[in-house]
Chains A and B, each alone.
With several copies, the nearest count.
Chain A
Amino acid sequence: MTKDKVKAVVVSKECLMDDIFSLTIKVGENISKAVPGQFIDLYSNDKSRMLPRPISICDVDSEKEEMRIVFRTVGAGTSEFSTYEKGDTVEIVGPLGNGYDIKDADKDKVHVLLGGGIGIPPMLYLAKKLNEAGVPKDNIKTVIGFRDKNTFLVEDLEKYSQVFITSDNGEIGIKGNVIDGLREYNIKPDVIYACGPTPMLKGISAYAAENSVTAYISLEERMACGIGACLACVCKSSDVDGHSKVKNKRICKDGPVFLSEEVEL
């Protein structure tokens, strides 16, 4: 009984672009110990919506005990969250899952952070933590992909990393996806941390295998419990999983971050 659902108070809300919002919420001490790549579950205040919404941790201010999340409005839940204003409360559980492993972060190695679309937010906290762990800004290279010239979080990421931009339509940065970006910007990763849509992650897994680079990728699946009990959120794993012994890892509990070779996309 070390965890609980808590009521977090909204400190600020910002619309970063069209349908992308940033919420900063006051959370307890416990939650502010989160590591990059972990997520929280947000509960809707509307009783017709029973399931929590998993949202990645974008940033943590452990002194203020504040956490920032950035999300796209895609359905009823995220639309509700986008209406929150300062002073509103939202129930959350977290931090949940296993984040990116940066225990052995080597300051001389090239750490490459790849974020596509709404997979960009977790990269901010990751870049910050790598930086705090002693990796110089020059060895933290963030390649982020947008649809078009509408970007978000770029300035925040530039505080801790070198930022390289790609866009689907070429309106900004390199035209193409983040792997095109790697090539075009001539970046040679020693280790990759990625979050984004499945096709992008597939590409990264292939790239990592070809180039024998360690790649951590963060997966998504619909979730119910968010803590590993209900088996809603599994992905195919290369090895037999610890829980059910059937090569089905739980994204919420064993992930969301996996080594690329651990899972089959």
Chain B
Amino acid sequence: MNMSVDIAGVVMKNPVTVASGTFGSGMEYSDFVDLSALGAVTTKGVANIPWQGNPTPRIAETPSGMMNAVGLQNPGIDTFLERDLPFLKGYDTKIIVNVCGKSEDDYVDVVEKLADSPADLLEINVSCPNVKEGGIAFGQNPDALFEITKKVKKAAKQPIIMKLSPNVTDITEMARAAEAGGADALSLINTLTGMKIDIYKRRFAVANKTGGVSGPAIRPIAVRMVYQVAKAVKLPIIGMGGIASAEDAIEFIMAGATAVSVGTANFRNPSVTLDVIKGIEEFMKAQGINDISEIRGCVD
């Protein structure tokens, strides 16, 4: 039985990774999860310099989901290279480094510094709804997305994964722009922009006013977008959005994803990734599936 998958030449032992920002660099979760069991660890977005992030409260709970406006607090690439990557190198898993920036140069800067690092894949976050500059500005405009993809691709030594925003009219247009710009893979979806109001305090529930909605609530939207994008482009897709069980993960694979990321569900169960991997294996056994690729995009 073969559970391994290939994302732009990088072979993951199984299709399960974690969604950027929900798992840190894996250090804290390594108390709960043997990181070597994961297909890959995807790290929290890292910028060229340390970022402060947004004021608190940064999160709020929503029905079957949550909203966050952490605002990409991170230690910057130098600390990351010194501390986080060496830590991850100690595990038998692939490393996907999520990169954020405020300008094209920021992204290029980080990507260049990662050139000789143990990072296997670079995931370019052009879809964070929680920062004013950069981020989403690239993620909602196909021309800007094409341009930044081209620039980053040129600078990157590792294959690049462009991470798409769901806050668009036509996700396939964005996917095609990234493909045309030279992306090696796509990941989707990032969070949907939402808002929550505390009616007793007459105040926004998160300090940033809006936040990104994640969790099972958004899963049907994510599955739809993965399906559409899988039909529109040839690139491998890392699917995510509300995956909390093996069934959910398989749903994304059947919609056309090559790999999947578990995000918000880690907060409900810190070792959920292990359950997801085990569940996929059991499903394959029960259904007589020899290679996970047999069910990829099997629904038409």
A125–B50 Cα gap in the complex (Å)? 39
Q: Which of B24, B53, B66, B268 lies in contact with A43, CB distance below 8 A?
A: B268
The answer to the question of A233 belonging to the interface, with a C-beta cut-off of 8 Å to chain B, is yes
Q: Does B264 contact A (CB under 8 A)?
A: yes
Chain B residues contacting A253 (CB-CB under 8 Å) are 28
Q: Which residues 12-45 of B have a CB within 8 angstroms of A?
A: 21-24, 27-34, 44
Assess whether B63 is interfacial by the CB under 8 Å rule: yes
Determine if A159 is an interface residue (Cβ-Cβ < 8 Å): no
User: In this assembly, does B52 line the interface, its C-beta being within 8 Å of a C-beta of chain A?
Assistant: yes
Query: Hey, what's the 0/1 contact readout for A93-136 against B, CB within 8 Å counting as 1?
Result: 10000000000000000000000000000000000000000000
Interface contact A51-B66, CB-CB below 8 Å? yes
Confirm or deny: A157 has a beta carbon within 8 angstroms of a beta carbon on chain B. Answer: no
Known: A3-B270, A248-B53. Contact between A230 and B61, CB under 8 A?
no
Q: Are A229 and B29 in contact (CB under 8 A)?
A: yes
A50 touches B56 (CB 8 A): no
Q: How far is the CA of A235 from the CA of B55 in the complex (A)?
A: 9
Proximity bits, B45-64, A CB within 8 Å = 1, else 0: 00000111100111111011
A78 vs B199: C-alpha distance when bound (angstroms): 19
Complex Cα spacing A85 to B28, Å: 33
Instruction: Tell whether B216 is near chain A: CB-to-CB under 8 Å.
Output: yes
Query: Which residues of B88-116 have CB atoms within 8 Å of chain A's CB atoms?
Result: none
A244 close to chain B: CB less than 8 A: yes
Query: Assuming A3-B270, A47-B64, A93-B270, is B28 touching A234 (CB within 8 A)?
Result: no
B268 in contact with A51 (CB, 8 Å): yes
B73 with A244: CB separation less than 8 A: yes
The verdict on A227 contacting B64 (CB below 8 Å), with A1-B34, A244-B50 known, is no
Contacts between the two chains (Cβ within 8 Å), count = 126
Q: Shortest beta-carbon distance, B156 to chain A, in Å?
A: 24
Residue of B nearest to A76 (CB): B61
Q: In the complex, which residue of chain B has the Cβ closest to the Cβ of A2? A: B31
A85 CB to closest chain B CB, in angstroms?
23
Q: Is A11 part of the binding interface, using a Cβ–Cβ cutoff of 8 Å?
A: no
Which residues in chain A, 41-55, are within 8 Å of chain B measured between CB atoms?
A: 43, 47-52
Contacting residues, chain A, for B33 (C-beta < 8 A): 1
Interface residues as binary, A30-66 with B (CB distance below 8 Å gives 1, 0 otherwise): 0000000000000100011111100000000000000
Whether the Cβ atoms of B60 and A222 lie closer than 8 Å is yes
Contact A51/B50 with A1-B31, A1-B34, A225-B270 known, Cβ cut-off 8 Å: no
Interface size class of A (residues with CB under 8 A): 35 or more
Flag whether A172 is at the interface (Cβ < 8 A).
no
- In the complex, whether B128 has a CB less than 8 A from a CB of chain A is no
> In the complex the two chains form, is B64's CB within 8 Å of A48's CB?
yes
Q: Is the CB of B267 within 8 A of A246?
A: no
A234 in contact with B75 given A2-B31, A52-B267, A229-B23 (CB within 8 Å): no
Judged by a CB distance under 8 angstroms, whether A245 is at the interface is yes
The answer on a CB contact under 8 Å between A5 and B271 is yes
- Answer whether residue B269 sits at the interface, using C-beta atoms and an 8 A cutoff: yes
Let me know if B79 and A232 touch, CB within 8 A: no
Q: B165 in the interface, Cβ–Cβ < 8 Å?
A: no
Do B271 and A4 touch across chains, with their CB atoms under 8 A apart? yes
Query: In this assembly, does B166 line the interface, its C-beta being within 8 Å of a C-beta of chain A?
Result: no
Q: Which of A52, A228, A229, A248 contacts B22 (CB 8 A)?
A: A229
B24 touches A229 (CB 8 A): yes
Contact B63 A48 (CB under 8 A): yes
**A243 part of interface (Cβ distance < 8 Å):** yes
Judging by beta carbons under 8 Å apart, are A230 and B22 in contact?
A: yes
Q: Are B56 and A233 in contact (CB under 8 A)?
A: yes
B188-228 at interface with A (beta carbon < 8 Å): 215-216
Question: Is A224 at the interface (CB under 8 A from chain B)?
Answer: yes
**Residues B68 and A224 in contact, CB atoms below 8 Å apart:** yes
Q: Does A27 contact B (CB under 8 A)?
A: no
Report A-chain residues with C-beta under 8 Å of the C-beta of B142: none
Report the bound CA distance from A244 to B269 in whole Å. Answer: 24
Evaluate contact between B29 and A227: CB separation under 8 angstroms.
yes
Residue on B nearest A49 in the bound complex, by CB? B61
B270 contacts across to A, CB distance below 8 A: 3-5, 93, 225, 227
| B residues near A230, Cβ cutoff 8 Å | 21-22, 24, 59, 68, 70, 267
Residues of B within 8 A of A (CB): 21-24, 27-34, 44, 50-53, 56-61, 63-66, 68, 70, 73-76, 79, 215-216, 264-271
Query: Can you list 19 residue pairs at the A/B interface with Cβ under 8 Å?
Result: A1-B31, A43-B269, A50-B216, A221-B57, A222-B56, A224-B267, A225-B22, A225-B267, A228-B28, A229-B29, A231-B44, A231-B53, A234-B58, A244-B53, A244-B73, A245-B75, A245-B76, A246-B53, A246-B73
Residues of A bordering B, CB below 8 Å? 1-5, 43, 47-52, 93, 221-235, 243-248, 253
The 8 A-B residue pairs whose C-beta atoms are closest, nearest first, are A229-B24, A229-B28, A3-B31, A227-B28, A232-B59, A228-B28, A224-B267, A244-B75
